[in-house]
Amino acid sequence: MPHRPFHHGNLRAALLERAEAVLRERGLDALSLRELAREAGVSHGAPRSHFPDRGALLDALAERGFLRLDEEIRQAAGRAASRAAARAATGDAQDDHARTLHAAASAYLGFAVREPALLDLMFATKTDEPPEPVRAAAGRLFGTMSGLMDAGVAAGAYPASDVGRLTLLLSATVQGVSALVTSRRIPADQGEALLGDGIALLLSGAAAGR
């Protein structure tokens, strides 16, 4: 079924939507501005008003990926925190913190399973510095992870001086487990179990080192 031409007013968003679909279905090598223009029903030069070259398109996809991942993690952590607040009188603050971290980590893994090629693109090594929008979007994601770890200080899980180190450790753990799952080294359910083990070890190690 042919794609319907997109209205010029939302061409940038439409091109990014289609580019994500191509990336998901056929991989990075299949991405082409000319092919995206053809599917959008516009001239082959039209996308260049939004993306001067293919690299700019990839940067925009990476930015979009970081923002989406950040939002999914925020929502998952927010739901877990709301459940914790509902049982505040009977719950254990440190257990609730562990559940919130696991919810956030599970959201990260879920994104990785759905969008493995996009996640690879987001963390691809580049010879040049990424543009400011990509750096800002990645920084927002890391800031969210750091904020989750900040909450552990109030829960009594570890001192504030440990937050930076533990944020890096959590991020590396989640990214590493996600890579194992998306490369099909382990199934997704084992990845979920590893996330639980990793968070438990992270928190117990932090407590032991106090």
Q: Do residues 77 and 167 both lie within one domain?
A: yes
Q: Count how many domains the chain has.
A: 2
Q: Which of 113-117, 134-138, 158-162, 205-209 has the lowest mean pLDDT?
A: 205-209
Q: Do residues 102 and 168 both lie within one domain?
A: yes
Name the average pLDDT for the chain.
Answer: 88
Average pLDDT over residues 188-205: 95
* Domain annotation covers residue 1: no
Confidence of residue 86 (pLDDT cuts 50, 70, 90): confident
67 vs 52: CA distance, rounded Å:
22
Q: Do residues 68 and 21 both lie within one domain?
A: no
Q: Do residues 29 and 69 both lie within one domain?
A: no
Higher-pLDDT residue of 124, 169 = 169
Q: Do residues 201 and 126 both lie within one domain?
A: yes
* Domain annotation covers residue 3: no
Convert the pLDDT of each residue in 93-128 to its tens digit: 889 999 999 999 999 999 999 999 999 999 886 556
Q: Do residues 127 and 64 both lie within one domain?
A: yes
3-class state of residue 88 by DSSP: coil
Q: Do residues 67 and 101 both lie within one domain?
A: yes
Convert the pLDDT of each residue in 33-66 to its tens digit: 888 888 777 777 777 878 899 999 999 999 999 9
Q: Do residues 147 and 182 both lie within one domain?
A: yes
Torsion of CA 152, 106, 108, 149, to 10 degrees: 0
* Domain annotation covers residue 189: yes
Higher-pLDDT residue of 87, 183 = 183
* Domain annotation covers residue 108: yes
CATH code, 33: 1.10.10
Q: Do residues 118 and 25 both lie within one domain?
A: no
What is the reported pLDDT for 88?
66
What is the reported pLDDT for 2?
46
CATH code, 132: 1.10.357.10
User: What percent of the chain is modeled with pLDDT above 70?
Assistant: 90
In degrees, rounded to 5, the angle at the alpha carbon of residue 29 between the alpha carbons of residues 136 and 46 is 70
* Domain annotation covers residue 147: yes
15 exposure class (CB count in 10 Å sphere: 0-12, 13-18, 19+): buried
Q: Do residues 19 and 98 both lie within one domain?
A: no
Q: Which domain holds residue 77?
A: 59-208
